[in-house]
Amino acid sequence: MRCLPVIVVLLTVWGLGPLVGCGSGGGAARAGGGTAGEPVSAGGAGGAGAAPATEGMVWVPAGTFVMGTNDGHWNASPAHAVRMDGFWIDAHEVTNAQFAAFVEATGYVTVAEKPIDPADFPPDVRAHMPPDVLPASSMVFTPTNGPVRLDNEAQWWRLVEGADWRHPEGPGSSIEGRMDHPVVHVCWADAKAYADWAGKSLPTEAQWEYAARGGLSGVTYVWGDEKLPDGEWMANIWQGDFPVTNTLDDGYLTTAPVGSFPANGYGLYDMSGNVWEWCADYYSDRYYARSPDANPPGPARYEDHGPRAGEGMPMRIIRGGSFLCSDVYCMGYHPTARMYTTEDSATNHTGFRCVSDAPAPPDGE
């Protein structure tokens, strides 16, 4: 059975459930504390897939940090101390050019490029679906014509036939001129397939948050406490009246080329905003309470006692927020904010980056 195409999104479109995305499941918070050494940029040795194993990656040194928050965000508590070994992580999100190389080398077809067959769905979901196989489709953000209540995401998401990683907004759009933008419309299985090909893996949630903090302690954003230092935007997020008008104060309506905004303390770009990033972990709203204190691998299975518990579909962690994050609706671009979505979900604001367990550089820890 193939990876199911955006089950929760389809249920929302058909009026049967909530849509995952900015504003549901995550939480804004102040970052915890920690200690760590200096990052080391990769020199590019070794390799698998199409490029050396650590080319374009940054070494994040071993250290200790406080993961999560006690500031009232139910699924990001309790704050807890975590020790991390050093690891390599991509300096930026996987780009269209990198994903195109993977597809060219392997012939891989993403989930969003495959037809939607009702036979692939659980019976209780299938009962509410059209009986025929649906064309390949994916979810695309579409601004509303005017102000709307923010409790129904289906008002600004559309299931667009022909939308996929090559056509981010659907037929008529392309990635021409956007090869240095993050690849989107990739589900968890697509991201994992790329990572496997490249000889890497998806980051654990702990790796992702540790790297995102950039060695800073007790700050609100991945760059510090001031949202607009010297009046400058530090991340690609939404400005204006969400979901109606984006004033483009940061210069971008949708994705931005990777590296368009300043790097964090470890030299990592877009750990806040641009696109959500898949992590390896299943989601568990209780994992933080029992997480190991060293290199947490994530829970063994999906576990949810929160507002989405009744959906019954396995969900994975996504982190970092996207170009749709707005302070009036989604605080997912804060470093402690947790989001989770079904493994099949593919949208035009979700991508990924990879990590590697290649040996530390000579001057690393």
Residue 193: how many other CB atoms lie within 10 Å: 19
Q: Which residue has the tokens 């508590």?
A: 77
- Range from 21-25, 29-33, 130-134, 329-333 carrying the lowest mean pLDDT: 29-33
Q: Which residues of 171-192 are buried (b: 16+ CB within 10 A; e: fewer)?
A: eebebeebebbbbbbbbbbbbb
- Helix, coil or strand: residue 261: coil
Taking 70 as the threshold, does the pLDDT of residue 322 lie above it? yes
Q: What is the pLDDT of residue 318?
A: 98
Taking 80 as the threshold, does the pLDDT of residue 46 lie above it? no
Q: What is the pLDDT of residue 28?
A: 29
CATH architecture of the region 1-43+58-357: Alpha-Beta Complex (3.90)
Q: What's the rounded Cα separation, in Å, for the pair 159 and 157? A: 7
Taking 60 as the threshold, does the pLDDT of residue 341 lie above it? yes
pLDDT, one tens digit per residue, over 222-254 is 999 999 999 999 999 999 999 999 999 999 999
Residue predicted with more confidence, 44 or 348: 348
Any idea what the Cα angle at residue 20 is, between residues 14 and 146, rounded to 5°?
A: 70
pLDDT, one tens digit per residue, over 50-94 is 455 799 999 999 999 999 999 877 799 999 999 999 999 999 999
Q: What is the pLDDT of residue 49?
A: 52
CA 154 from chain centre, in angstroms, equals 20
Per the DSSP assignment, residues forming a β-bridge with 282 are: 316
pLDDT, one tens digit per residue, over 275-299 is 999 999 999 999 999 999 999 999 9
pLDDT, one tens digit per residue, over 100-109 is 999 999 999 9
Burial label, 16 (beta-carbon count in 10 A; 0-12, 13-18, 19+): middle
352, 191 contact by CB (below 8 A): yes
DSSP 166: T
